[in-house]
Amino acid sequence: MTNPKFNRVLVAIGGGIAAYKICDLISKLFQTGVEVRVILTRSAQEFITPLTVATLSRHQAYTDDDFWQPTYSRPLHIELGEWADVIVIAPLTANTLAKLAYGMADNLLTNTVLASTCPVLLAPAMNTDMWEQLSVQRNWQQLSIDSRYHGMNTASGLLACDRVGAGRMAEPPEILAYIQSLLHTQGKRDLVGKRVLISAGGTREHLDPVRFIGNPSTGKMGLALSQAALHRGARVTLVHTPANWEAPLGVQAISVISADQMHHALLEYLANADIIVMSAAVADVKPRDYSTEKLSKRSLPQALPLEPVPDIIAQLAELKQSHQILIGFAAQTGNIVNSALEKLQNKKLDAIVANPIDRADSGFGSDRNQAIFLDNQGHQVEIALCSKLEMAHQLFDFVISEF
């Protein structure tokens, strides 16, 4: 998904048990075509070895021993700082956090950060009591006002110290997604101050507790949209149906099942939203009758009576204010543009994403997608097959440029 001009990532590993997880991150970065270089702090080497990360990155790993050796034509921290398009520090320890907050530079990692101008992604990991210390939180807030630094929220859960609480490092897939976002945006936070409301997944219209009318939507597109908006600085609310993924840390996630539940949730959050993206595959009809107990096979109706589901996006269009932008999705087969244009006009939308579900490796369930963006001013932009996160960023690029 990355621009070839911006695909160099410097991974700096701090000392902590979470360091072992970064091996998977390095491997995934390489597999996606990103050039990777790795710095290991002295304490990080107590958990993983330079040989391990060198093997995964296909490049020499750098340590403080390299920093103090006159074996490079230019100072190593200058070379690495100018080379990197994104620097990732994971796990970020309380010690390194304090050094960054006060501009200190006493090792290869901190010198490289000060010798660079690219975005820096921070993924802290520490014991709950350490993370919640006033001094640590003060340092964290100090970095948050610096536009270079992009901080990931810590998760709550069982820590290596057997404590259950905050301070757990974000998982590698979430760090990877944030890196990919930074490679696309080059660190721009062009949605700061905006509230983005997103719907995701396929609704389920139940006949009884175990049977429902549904569709193959997995919600992956909505997940990607929430990641992209969050990484660009927006406050994100994600209304989603049952999924096998978790909403990103920092996103307000509202779990629903049916179209009616999604309808109520979206109406609740509509007034405060600046951008509404309806990527969910919402049912058109539902069973007219619902049984609170499972129907036996012989009790199933030969013909299932159906009734229409309220048109959620049409109602949102009627209620939206002039400053709000409402974007729909049209999953289509065949000629996707004509159907999407009809929906755009009939529903009174500001823009629509027409994506084909009858082409290989795109649409429902896939990690990739392709589409044509259309707005109510007659503009069209075709998006070639790419990751869903890349498409999400291109959609927000389109929205920002057109509105």
Residues annotated catalytic, as ranges:
161
Q: Which among 289, 291, 285 is positioned nearest to 307, based on CA atoms?
A: 285
Q: Contacts from 380-389 at CB under 8 Å and sequence distance 24+?
A: 380/337, 385/361, 386/1, 387/1, 387/180, 387/224, 388/220, 388/221, 388/223, 388/224, 389/1, 389/177, 389/180, 389/181, 389/224, 389/227, 389/228
> What is the identity of the amino acid at 71?
T
159 token code pair: 């820590």
Distance of alpha carbon 78 from alpha carbon 56, whole angstroms: 24
Q: Which among 312, 286, 308, 309 is positioned nearest to 211, based on CA atoms?
A: 286
> Do 166 and 128 meet the contact criterion of CB atoms below 8 Å apart?
yes
What 3-state DSSP class applies to 390? Answer: helix
Distance of alpha carbon 304 from alpha carbon 175, whole angstroms: 46
Q: Please give the DSSP secondary-structure letter assigned to residue 403.
A: -
- DSSP states along 304-321: --EEEPP-HHHHHHHH--
118 token code pair: 């690219």
Count CB neighbours of 8 within 10 A. 18
Cis amide leading into 91 (omega within 30): yes
